[in-house]
Copies of this chain bind each other. A is one copy, B any other.
Amino acid sequence: MESFATNTLRTHELRHTGCREDILTLFYTHKTALAHGDLETVLRDRYDRVTIYRTLKTFADKGIIHKVLDEDGLRYALCKDTCHDHDHHHDHVHFKCAACGQTTCLDEVRIPMIQLPSGYQKRETNLLIQGTCPKCSQ
């Protein structure tokens, strides 16, 4: 059985390097969105900070990960399989927990149809819900 990282890299015709493999694996195991700083903390003695920046940019360009924005800044999360270079699904729902600070993708939640004022053409929607996650709300 081939690893997620190896498989993903080959699918997107990217060279297989240590940094790329490690970052993909981190995204795959953590189910939450990760910031550059999160990765740097873990990988700082293995890879240069700049390499991490470039890896994130490469992955985002290829549609492997996508940006997640909240008031604390920029994070990235894995795109689901349905989300390829040219066949993107255009809704993202993220949940940010005010208690633990973690952001998760809620892939199973669909954004309902929204009626826009006339003239507006929708291409992509991004919903950020803030509140308390199951772990923290007990």
What mask results when residues 65 to 98 of chain A are scored 1 for a CB within 8 Å of chain B, else 0?
0010111000000000000000000000001001
Residue numbers in B under 8 Å from A95 (CB-CB): 116, 120
Residue numbers in B under 8 Å from A98 (CB-CB): 123
| Chain A interface residues (CB < 8 Å from chain B) | 67, 69-71, 95, 98, 106, 108-109, 111-112, 114-135, 137
| 29 pairs from A and B in contact (CB 8 Å cutoff) | A69-B128, A95-B116, A98-B123, A106-B116, A109-B114, A109-B115, A109-B116, A111-B114, A112-B114, A114-B129, A117-B134, A120-B129, A120-B132, A120-B133, A120-B134, A121-B131, A121-B132, A122-B129, A122-B131, A123-B130, A123-B131, A124-B129, A124-B131, A125-B127, A125-B128, A125-B129, A125-B130, A127-B127, A127-B128
